[in-house]
Chains A and B, each alone.
Chain A
Amino acid sequence: MAYLFNTPEDQRAMLEAIGVSSIAELFEVIPAALRLNRPLNIPPALSELELSQHVQRLATRNSPAGQSVCFLGGGSYDHFIPAVVDAVASRGEFYTSYTPYQPEVSQGNLQAMFEYQTLICQLTGLDVSNASLYDGGSAAVEAVLMALSVTRRSGKVVVPASVHPEYRQAIATYLANLDAELVTVGTPHGRVRLEEIEAAVDDQTACVLIQQPNFFGCLEPLAEVGQIAHRAGALLVAAVDPISLGLLKRPGDQGADIVVAEGQALGTPLQFGGPYLGIMACREEFVRRLPGRIAGQTVDRRGRRCWVLTLQTREQHIRRDKATSNICTNQGLFALRAAVYLAAMGPAGLRETAELCLRKAHYAAEQICRDERYSLAHGGPFFKEFVVRDGQGRVEELLADARQAGFHAGVPLGPWYPELQDCFLVAVTEKRSKSEIDALAGCLAGSPSDCTTVYA
C-alpha cells in the first residue's frame, strides 16, 4: 500500500509481539454480524499524479475570482493577501500542530494566539478577544448566547433585517431550542430607524445585534443604537467588517459590549465560504462568559514569560454541560493568518486598503448608475458595498449575461428579501481596477464592447 509505513515484515513482527496471528484477529472484538462483509462502494485508489489530473479537471469547471472579475460580497470578499501570509501559514510547524495542550512545546502557537488577541483588541477597541470561533455567523450566534447569559435575560434578542440574513438564520436555528425569541426589526430604508429599535427593545431584551456596515453596505447609527440598548439594560453586539476599521470609528469606542466579525477579509482565501475566521471580542467584565480558547500570559517555574491556554474552566473539556460553549476545534490557522495580515498591513496599510475600497465602491456605484436602468436602492453613506436596483427587474438574466462576459457581477437579493427582488448587491475591494469597474458598468449597460476592455 503506497501510503502506509508498515512493511509485511514489520506487520509480522508486530503481530507476533502482540500475540495474534493476523490483523483480522484484532478486529474479532467487533461482532461478525456488525462487520461490513464487502468492500466500500467508493472509487478505487488514485496515485498522486492521477489525483492531480482528476482534481485539476474538476477545478477547470469552476470560474474562480481571477478568472472572472469578482464583485461579490455579502460577508466574503476578494481582498488582496500579501505573500507573507501564505509564507507563514504554510509552515508545517504551524499548520500540522494542534490545540496547545502542552504549552512547553506550543509557545509558537500560544504567543501567536496572544498576539492575535492583542491585534483584535487594537482593531475593535475592546478589552479582550478569544482565540477564534468558526466564522462570522456562528460568532454572531455565540455573542447572542453570551448576551443571554450575561444579562440573565431569556426574553428577546433584537436584530434588524439589515444584519446578514445567514447570521439571522443561524441565530434562529439556535434559538429554536432555547427560550429566547428572535425579534426582527424591518429595515425598508436599508438601515435601522432608531424609533423602531427603541420600540422593539424592552426590559427582557438581552441584546441588540447590529452589523456595521450592514449587509447592504450602509452605515448604521451604531452609537445611538447602543444608547438605546444600554438604557434598557441590554447589550450592544456589533458585527463589523474588519477592513472597514481602517477608516471607521472602532465599535469598542462607540459602546459595543461584544464585537464579532467575519475575519475572512484578513488574509483568508475565499474557498467557497470556509474555513473562515470567527472574530469575537468583549469588554473585560464579561471575559468569564466568553466562549472559545483564550491564550493568557504567565511565567514558568523559572520565572520566564510565557503563554498558556487560560480560563479553561469556561470550557467543555472541564465544565461539560455547564460550559460557555461546546466549541473545541476552532480556526487557529486563520487567526494566525489574520495576525500576519494585520502585522503586514499595519495602520497605514489597513487605512489605505479601506480607503481604496471606499473610493472604488463609490466610483463603481456612480458608473453603474450612469445608465438610467440602474439606481441605488438605498440612500446615505456606504462603505465598500451597495445595492443596485434594476429598473427592468431582470436581475437573474442580467447577472447571467454578466457571467458570460466574465463578471461575477453581484449577489441577487431576492432569495432573502422578497421586496428586493429587483436588486443585487455589489462589492468592490481594493483589488478591482478602474478598467474592471468601467467594463462591468459597460457590460451592465448592455454595451458588450466595453466588456472586453477588462482583459485589454
Chain B
Amino acid sequence: MLFDLSQPGRRAARLPASDVPHVELNELLPAEARAETPPPLPELAEPDVIRHFTNLSTLNMSVDTHFYPLGSCTMKYNPKRNERMANLPGLLDLHPYQHEQSLQGLLELLYELQRYLGEISGLPAVSLQPAAGAHGELAALMVAAAYYRDLGEQRTKVLTPDSAHGTNPASARMAGFDTVTIRSTPAGYVCLDDLRAKLDEQVAVLMITNPNTLGLFDRQIAEIADLVHERGGLVYLDGANMNAILGIARPGDFGADMMHYNPHKTFSGPHGGGGPGAGPICVTEKLDPFLPAPVVGRRDDDYFLDYDRPRSIGRVRTFFGNVGVLVRAYCYIRTYGPDGLRAVSENAVLNANYLLSRVKHFLPVPQGDRCMHEFVASAEHLKKEKGLKQPAMDLAKRLLDYGFHAPTVYFPLTVHDAVMVEPTETESKQTLDAFAETLFRVTGEAGEVLAEAPHSTLVSRPDEVRAARQTVLRWTAEQPAS
C-alpha cells in the first residue's frame, strides 16, 4: 500500500522558491480560513511512487498485454499513433476558455469530426459534449423531452427492450421518464406484439440497441421505427455496437432519430482502466435546435463555438467535451477512411462469426449460427454436467489462468448463464484459434477446478459479500498490515 511506504520528511516533487516579494501569509489569507497543517497525504520519494505504481500496473490484464474479448465493450487495440497525436502540445495544452482565434486548428478538427460522425450515422446534427455513452443517452433523452415540451406534448414513458444495457433505463429515469420494458422473442429480437401493446401517445422514446446486445441485427428495425413514429414517438439508437456496421448501414437510414457513439469503443480511445470515454450524440435535423450548446460552427474559413441556440437543453457538463478522446477518434477515422472503416466492421463481424463457428459445438449459442460483431453463448448446461452454480463465471475465471481476459458474463439478462464474446477486428485468426481451443479445454475440465479458478493469479475469488457488508472503502492507519 502506498500509505505503508510513507516516511515523514520524504518527498518526490520539488517546487521553485517564490520569486515574488515576500509577504506574510497572514496578510494574504485570514488565519481562520487556513488549516494548521496540510492534508495528511503520504510522504514518498520519487522511486517509491514509480515502483509502487509500476508494480501495480503489472497486476492488470489490458489490451496491450492480453486478448480482451469483453463483450459489449469493444476492447480493440488502441493505435499508438493516436496517443502521439493527442499528446501534441498544440492540442494537449489548450485551455477551454481560450479565444476561438487561438484555437482554429482544434476547432477545425472538431468541426470535421462532427461532420464525419453525422455522415457515419446518417444523423446530421451532432453534439460532442457528453462525456460517455450513458451521458450521451441522458443528453439525447433530455433533447427528446425538450422537443416534446416545445411541441406542447406531455409524454412520460421510455420503452427499453429487456436485453438493453442497464444504462438505458437508468438514463431514462434521470431524464424524468418512467421506463417500460419490452419483451424479446426467444430468437432474441424485439417482440412486436409486446411493442404494439405498450406503444401509446405517452411514449416519448424507444431506446434500442441494433445490432442488439445479443450481437444480432434486428431486421424488423424499420418496422419498429415506423410503429414508434406513427405514434409520434422517437427512436433512440444505443450506438454501443456501431463497430459492426461502419460504412455498411446507418442508423439514420434505418429509422433512428437520435443515437450516441462510444468513441472509446468504436474509434479506439483507450479505456483507461474505467474511463475516459466520450458520448457524442447525433440527431435528425428537427432535433438539432435542442442539442447541448455549444457546437462548433463555421463561417467562411473561420470556426467558432456556437452558443446561439435558444432552444438548446443547455449544458450537461463543464467545458466543451472530452476533447482528448475526440482527437483520438478523429485520428482513427482519418487513418481508416471510408474503405478502412468498412473493413473494420467486416473483419469484426468475420472474427466474431469465425469464433462462433468454433465455439458453438461445445458452448451452445441459443440465438443461432450467425452473429454480427459479438455473440452470446450459454454455459447453462455445465450447471448439471459439472455441478456448478455459476458456470459462466467459472469459465470466465478459468480463462484467466490461461492468459485470456474473460468475456462479459451474465449479461444480457435474457440468456441463461450468458458468455458474451466480442473479439474485435484487431485480433488474428491465430489468437482466435488459441482462445477457442482454450475455451474447449476449459469446458472439459473438472467442476472443482473451474469452481476454484483462477489458480495462477495473485488473488482468487475475492469475497464480494464481505466487501459490501463490512465496507472498507479507504485505508486507515489502524489497519493491520498484511
Contact = CB atoms under 8 A, between A and B. Distances in A.
A307 B426 CA distance: 31
Contacts of A349: 11-15
Interface in B384-408: 396-397, 400, 405-406, 408
Contact of B275 (A115, A319, A331): A331
B65 interface: yes
Given A249-B35, A320-B166, A6 B44 contact: no
Contacts of A47: 335
A343 B105 contact: no
Interface in A1-42: 1, 3-6, 10-11, 13-15, 17-20, 23, 26-27, 29-31, 33-36, 39-42
A167 B316 CA distance: 9
A192 to B, nearest CB: 15
B280 interface: no
A262 interface: yes
Given A3-B340, A59-B88, A105 B400 contact: yes
How many of chain B's residues touch chain A, expressed as a range? Answer: 35 or more
Contacts of B138: 326
A308 B318 contact: no
A358 B34 CA distance: 12
A198 to B, nearest CB: 20
A82 B49 CA distance: 12
Interface in A90-142: 90-109, 111-115, 117-119, 121-123, 125, 127-129, 131-132, 134-138
A226 to B, nearest CB: 14
Contact of A352 (B15, B135, B275, B370): B15
Contacts of A62: 90-91, 94, 102-106
A194 B188 CA distance: 59
Contacts of B40: 122, 347
B234 interface: no
Interface in A213-248: 219, 245-248
Interface string B240-279: 0000011111100110000000101000001111111110
A196 B166 CA distance: 42
Interface string A44-75: 11111001101111111111111110101011
B54 A271 contact: no
Contacts of B209: none
B461 interface: yes
B421 interface: no
Contacts of B318: 75, 135-138, 164, 166-167, 170, 262, 273-274, 276
Interface residues of A, number: 207
Interface in A272-299: 272-276, 287, 293-299
Contact of A348 (B38, B102, B337, B353): B38
A96 B319 contact: no
Identify which of B173, B175, B222, B425 gathers the most chain A CB atoms within 10 Å of its CB: B173
A408 B350 contact: no
B92 A308 contact: no
A437 interface: yes
A333 interface: yes
A298 B467 contact: yes
Nearest to A336: B273
B91 A271 contact: yes
B332 to A, nearest CB: 9
B222 A34 contact: yes
Nearest to B46: A84
A300 B462 contact: yes
A423 B216 CA distance: 57
Contacts of B54: 88, 91
A389 to B, nearest CB: 18
Interface stretch (A183-191, A310-318, A443-451): A310-318
Contact of A96 (B58, B62, B324, B358): B62
A33 B73 contact: no
Contacts of A315: 166
Nearest to A220: B33
Contacts of B353: 14, 18, 20, 26
A247 B35 contact: yes
5 contacts: A35-B249, A45-B335, A90-B83, A276-B318, A326-B135
List 7 A-B pairs, minimum CB-CB distance, nearest first.
A273-B319, A59-B90, A332-B274, A92-B64, A333-B272, A45-B337, A61-B105
Given A29-B219, A55-B109, 19 more contacts: A5-B425, A36-B122, A36-B249, A45-B336, A66-B93, A84-B46, A102-B406, A107-B56, A108-B59, A109-B273, A114-B474, A262-B318, A269-B93, A270-B96, A300-B461, A306-B458, A328-B134, A344-B12, A346-B11
